[in-house]
Structure formats: C-alpha cells, structure tokens
Chains A and B, each alone.
Chain A
Amino acid sequence: MTNSPATTSPDAGPPGLGSEAEGTPARSGLALVLGALPWLVAAGLVGAAGYLGGYLATIVAFALIYAVFVTGLNIFMGFTAQVSFGHNAFAAIGGYTSAVLTTTYEWPPLAAFAAGLAGSLALAGLIGWPTLRLKGHYLSMGTLAIGLIVYEIAVQWESVTQGYLGISGIPSLGIGRFEATGDRQILAVLTAIVLLGAFVVARMRRSRFGRALSAVAGSEEAARALGIDVARYKLASFLLSAGFASLAGTLFVHVVGYVSPEVFGLHMVILAFTMLYVGGLGTVVGPIIGALVISLLPETFRGFRDYQDLGYGAALILLLIYAPRGMAGLIDLAAGRKAS
C-alpha cells in the first residue's frame, strides 16, 4: 500500500476531463477553433451525404446510428471507466421489439420504441444489479454472456423473430403522420437525434451526476470514502448507456427496414469499441467522429481492391499509435492543453 501513486492513476481516468483546464485567452481561442474542428468535419460529412445521396448517404446513416450506440457506450466505458462487451444485447432488444411490434402488431414506431426501451432497461437492471456490486471483470464477463444469449434467442425463437430469415417490411421512422422517407429526411432525423444525445451527455458531464461518475472512474475507493454510492452510480450509468443502445437498435431496423440476428452480433461490439477508441474515449464528440471515420474508412480504401482490408488495418494501427487518446484527444494535444 505504501507505494501507491500520488494520484489515483490519472492515465486511467477519462481523458476528456483534462480538457477543462483553463488556458490563457490566446490558447483558449485556438482550443475553441480546434475543438470545433471535429464537429465541422462531422457536419461536412453528413452534409455531403445529404447532398450526394445514394451509397454515401446509406453509409453515413449507419454511422449516425452507430454514433448513438457509441455515445451510450461512452457513458459507461468513457465516463465511468467500466467495460461492457454486451451492449449489442440492448440494441437487439430495442431493434427486435420495434420490428415485431410495428410489423406483426402494427404499433406506431414511437410506442414500439418505448416498449423496447423498457425491455432493455429491465434486462440491464437485472444483470447490472448483482454484477455491478462486484469488482473487476465479473460485469464484463456477464455482459459478454448476455450479448451471446440474446443473439441465440434471436436465432432460435423463430415464431417471433423468424430466425436467420429475419423480419422484413419494417416501416420507416415516423411520428404521427410524419414519416422520414428518402435519404435527406432520414439523415436529418438521425442528425437531430445524435445532436440531442451529445447535448444530453455534455450536460450530464458537468452535472453533479457526471462528477460522481468521474469520481467512480478515477478511484472507486476514493469515491466511496467521499460518501458516493459507487454501485448505484455504476448501475445508473449502465442503464443510461443501455437506453442509448436500445434507441440505436430501434433506429437501425426502421432505417434499413429489415432485421436479422447478425445485425446485432458480436461484430457490432467490436466495431463500436473501434469507433469509441478511434474517436476518443470519454469525450463528447469522440463517439460521433469515431463512428463516421470508422464507417467511411473502409470505403476510402476501396481503390486498393484486394488490399482494402490491409489498408484499413494499417490506418487503424497508425491512428491508435499516433492518437492513443483518439481523434478528440489529438485535438486537445494540438491545442496545447495539458494531457492529464
């Protein structure tokens, strides 16, 4: 115990929190410009997709749905410093509930979404309540199991999910008489949802709740010694991030109009992790820029033909070597903010 570090492992904490240091006026001006950069890039990509339409619009729409998913994952992994391999389960519950209720039972999308959300939160509470009290990797293993189990249920429960065949003919996103059809409308709706999610997270981070999550991320023991109910905050963070995942699942099935078990397989988790780390763990814009970059990156290497995967892999490795704190972290560095 005597050689414990002077601070509770500053490297392990959410990197984004370091960016709140107040710099000199000139430096904060530069920081402001650089801080706006990822938002501008994201806006440019979405704008281009809306203008050009077609394949690009489809990819960017997927990226925005992933941005919602990763924004939620970031609350749990970035701000609370926990690990979950099973958030695809909540996306699957949200997605399948929406798909089944809107097709077989002809519910309106919003009501179906609410039902899926309730289901996801119930499951998150059920696994979170016992496992979040435990230390270490119990929760991670528990979440991995739940992701695999939900996938198996989607495959086996054919009377409801139609197994590998999947469910098709899912209606578009819509509220009341409004229905989002066509690339531009879908992109506009998704962009609004992503921005709303980012706003919620930005507000949360600066709130008492957000500070408590950061304390849990910094050191559970120090947080406990301050009277912070660590288990309760971990559970709240888990539920919140599961809610985002459920929303992403619902958005996916409505945008694509079709769902099958593979959509919410383990590869979704791997893709989301890549987006989160490339974008910047524990930052507000990181999940959005990460989702866009990782979705578009393989396409930029399409010209390489047989070497497409090689190019994509090499680009990922380079990114993680030169921007270990993600692209949002890279910008902090460029703005000369103190790396914490």
Chain B
Amino acid sequence: MAPDPHAPLLQVRGLTARYGHVRALEATDLTVDRGELVAILGPNGAGKSTLLRAILGLVANTGEVRSEGVVLPRADPVAVASAGIVLVPEGRGIFGPMTVAENLRLGAYRVRDRREVERRLARTFELFPRLSERLGQTAGSMSGGEQQMVAIGRALMADPKVLLLDEPSLGLAPRVTAEILETLRRLNQSGLSVVLVEQKAPLALELAVRVHLLSLGRTVAVISPDQVKSHDELARYYFA
C-alpha cells in the first residue's frame, strides 16, 4: 500500500501490550499529525513507556499502528524504525563504550550514502554544538545531559518522521532539562512531529498541543494543555 500524504504520520488504534500475562497497556489510541508535539503524562507504571515500546514492536502487542495510512507490522521494530518512527528509549540507551561519533553514526545505520550521513551529522552539530567538540569521547564518560544529547542526536541521524521520546528529563538537573526541552521546542517548530513521555507534567504542558493522561494502562483523558494550569487540576482528571 502506498503512503497517503494526507493521513496522520502516526495513528495508533486499540493498542494493547503485555509482559507475559501482565497487561501493561489497554486499547490505547493516539494520533500525531505533521508538526504536532503530543505529550503522554501519567504516574509511574501507567504504561507510558510501554506505549512507546509497543508502537515500535519491542514488546508483545496487538492493535493497529499506521504511518501515513500504511499499517506497520506489530513484531518488527526494524520495519517500524525504517518507516521513520524512531525511539529515544528511557535511560537513553546510548552505547557507553563507543565514542560519540560512533553512537551518532549508528543512528544513520540504514543510510549507505556517506555524503548523506555527513550532511545529517552537520545538522546534528548545528543543534548540539557541544557534541562536535566531543566526537572522540566515549559516550559513557559524559554527563547525563550530554548523554541525552547523544541519544537525541543519534535518533535525529535516522531522519525521523516521528520522534518518540521516553522521559528525556530523567535524572537531569533542572537547568539541563530546560536546555534539552528548548532543543525539542526548536525541533518541533522546524516541523518535526514528537511524542513526549514525561513524568514532570509542567514541562510537557508547555510544549504539547495535546496531552494524553494515562493511568494503570488506560487513557483516562485527552486534554488540551490550556485546560490544566496546575498540578491540582491535573490530579482532578485522574480522580474524576
């Protein structure tokens, strides 16, 4: 089936995922259009990470995931990644013993044209100038914020249609988190579609066009960020 340029970049219908016999995600829907940043909020264990991993096919799942109308296989992460759905996993998933350069090049692993890889590298350095000074450093020896930059940079090397980010602020100082989110804002403003999973609600509310609230593996509400201005209001949605 040919891609339909008018269909959403990412459309998830009734996605259910389980770890063994434990259901971690129940019939979840999610739609991301061009240039949208959609946030997924919820407490620990709500199924936020599972949602992203299920979209990729990294966890056993059923349901339907489409990109530009094309149905993506449910147990083939390579095919999903090739379709331009790229995940920055929780905990960053960078390769500690490898250098920054090797990590970044692995992001463009599927690209065989060297000039294209160099072009993407240059674009990544525009976004994260600090990385261009650290190319030979082993990624594992960098600070948490720099590692997150490597992780996001590596995902961008794949030239994603939709970037899935799993708690980029995890374990980072507030100042570093702000820097990372500012980069995300710029990326999003330049047209990149993003699904952002966060536990820190205020950060996500600032950037998102829509917010999905997850609890115990279910979507409890899909709201506009204007509807909630405080933690208390957010809490009300959960207990409503």
A-B interaction: yes
The secondary structure that dominates the A interface is loop
- Establish whether residues A7 and B81, one from each chain, have CB atoms under 8 Å apart when the complex forms: no
Using a CB-CB cutoff of 8 Å, which residues 154-197 of chain A contact chain B? none
Supposing A1-B49, A6-B147, A214-B102 touch, asked if A208 and B109 sit within 8 A by C-beta, the answer is yes
- Establish whether residues B95 and A6, one from each chain, have CB atoms under 8 Å apart when the complex forms: no
Binding site for B on A (CB under 8 A): 1-2, 4-10, 13-15, 17-18, 20-22, 208, 211-212, 214-215, 218-219, 221-222, 224-229, 338, 340
The distance in angstroms between the C-alpha atoms of A5 and B91, with both chains bound, is 6
**Residues of A with C-beta under 8 A to B96:** 7-10, 13, 218, 340
The distance in angstroms between the C-alpha atoms of A65 and B106, with both chains bound, is 34
**Residues of B with C-beta under 8 A to A10:** 96-97, 138, 140
What number of residue pairs across chains A and B have CB atoms under 8 A from each other? Answer: 123
- Establish whether residues A6 and B171, one from each chain, have CB atoms under 8 Å apart when the complex forms: yes
Shortest CB-to-CB span from B41 to chain A, Å, is 15
- Establish whether residues A225 and B95, one from each chain, have CB atoms under 8 Å apart when the complex forms: no
B208 at the interface (CB under 8 A from A): no
Contact with A along B145-174 (1 / 0, CB 8 A): 001000000100010000000000011000
Shortest CB-to-CB span from B165 to chain A, Å, is 12
Q: B107 — nearest CB in chain A belongs to which residue?
A: A226
B94 at the interface (CB under 8 A from A): yes
The distance in angstroms between the C-alpha atoms of A5 and B170, with both chains bound, is 11
Q: A219 — nearest CB in chain B belongs to which residue?
A: B93
Supposing A4-B91, A228-B78 touch, asked if A214 and B97 sit within 8 A by C-beta, the answer is yes
Interface size of B by CB at 8 A reads 39
**Residues of B with C-beta under 8 A to A21:** 99, 136-138, 141
Shortest CB-to-CB span from A218 to chain B, Å, is 4
The distance in angstroms between the C-alpha atoms of A9 and B140, with both chains bound, is 9
Q: A211-B106, A227-B109 are in contact. List 9 more A-B contacts (CB 8 A).
A: A2-B170, A10-B97, A18-B138, A208-B109, A215-B109, A219-B93, A219-B95, A225-B93, A226-B81
The distance in angstroms between the C-alpha atoms of A152 and B95, with both chains bound, is 41
The distance in angstroms between the C-alpha atoms of A226 and B238, with both chains bound, is 34
**Residues of A with C-beta under 8 A to B90:** 1-2, 4
B176 at the interface (CB under 8 A from A): no
